Amino acid sequence: MRVEAVELRRCQLPLREVFRTSYGVERTRDVLLVRVRTDVGDGWGECGAPAAPGYTDETVEVAHRALRDRLVPALGGHDVHLDGLDAVLDGSCDTPMARAALELALIDALLRAGNQSVAHWLGATRTRVPAGIALGVEATIDDSLARVAGAVDAGYRRVKLKIEPGRDVAVLDAVRAAFPDLALQADANGAYRGDDIEHLRAIDAARLQCIEQPFPADDLAAHAALARAIATPVCLDESIRSSSDAARAIDMAACSVVNVKAARVGGLLEARRLHDACVEREVPVWCGGMLDTGIARAANVALAALPGFTIPGDVSGSDRWFDVELTQPLRLDDDGCIRVPNGVGIGVDVDGDAIESCTESSEVLPVSPRRS
Ligand code: MG
């Protein structure tokens, strides 16, 4: 496949609800979409990078520049194949979200041309995956209880609550009391410090499936110390940028669960390697997401259908965050699962009119037929 041009689109999508985490508050999603135009057809990808630094330093501006100045020009003169993507996209790990977006667009185009779905290509072993939802930090415990009740009513099989110092144990205990059998997780996005371990011991009472990323990404020692101090499994997200990061963290007992997020590790290929590394070490994984539109969501649902994903992840319907949907919808069925999309490419068709309606800016970058 020869890439002839790459279109970078910035779309503005208002969130259906204000989303608060320990990093800050989000009201609108400034999402960067990537469309590759090739000699065998088009493909779409989505960049998970946020508007402001926090979850990662790779903001949407940083990712946009990396694509425009480095990743897209590097496609020049290459014949692109599914088994040669790492070579074409090599050297891009300092901007994994940009890399993941371009990789997904290339995979989408190649699989559409080859009449194959991403789920089949990845090695999915399930046709449906249980849906989970991530809920933000709320002002009061009652507000959190109302949000959890709404998620349970909507059919979600597992609920993850964002927590931070001052809004943690009491909220989780209240939710547990109201929903004794609910599969429950907590995500601190690195908001605690090593001397909070004594406080975090109290979290065991909530019987969580895991506590995710309590400490900053580079503090594996604190995670290992907490894992020794509590019964709740410790899960890592921001700390794991690659399959080798996961191997190191597991070997030092810093986690016993891993959040696999394609955007964070540079794309689906590394996400699958991360999954494989965890399966090899008998560590369960679940599928995380960003504030995804249907494009990234479809790929994530396919990823979550791999055999090692034994815990429900942040795999919600494609209407979770936005009123405007950019693809065919992905919805929860009656028992709280999402059907793995089995169309060609990412599995769903994109809605060009919907994308156009929310596009703020776009640029088309021609790709040179010769190597730069
Ligand atoms: Mg997380």
154-190 pLDDT, tens digit each? 999 899 999 999 999 999 999 999 999 999 999 999 9
Low-confidence ranges of the chain (pLDDT < 50): none
> How far apart, in whole angstroms, are the C-alpha atoms of residue 100 and residue 85?
11
The pLDDT of residue 370 is 86
Q: Catalytic pick from 35, 99, 261, 297?
A: 261
Task: For Cα atoms 103, 235, 161, give the angle at the middle one, nearest 5 degrees.
Answer: 95
Burial group, residue 350, by CB count within 10 angstroms (0-12, 13-18, 19+) = buried
Q: Catalytic pick from 9, 162, 223, 241?
A: 162
160 is catalytic: no
What does pTM read for this prediction?
0.97
Q: How far is the CA of 365 from the centre of ligand 1 (A)?
A: 33
The pLDDT of residue 91 is 65
> How far apart, in whole angstroms, are the C-alpha atoms of residue 89 and residue 68?
13
The 10 Å CB-count burial string (b at 16+, else e) for 355-370 is beebeeeeeebebeee
The pLDDT of residue 90 is 73
Q: How far is the CA of 316 from the centre of ligand 1 (A)?
A: 15
Q: How far is the CA of 72 from the centre of ligand 1 (A)?
A: 29
Q: How far is the CA of 347 from the centre of ligand 1 (A)?
A: 25
The pLDDT of residue 371 is 82
Q: Give the domains, in start order, of the chain with CATH numbers.
A: 3-115+351-366 (3.30.390.10), 120-339 (3.20.20.120)
Q: Are 240 and 210 in contact (CB under 8 A)?
A: no
> How far apart, in whole angstroms, are the C-alpha atoms of residue 319 and residue 53?
25
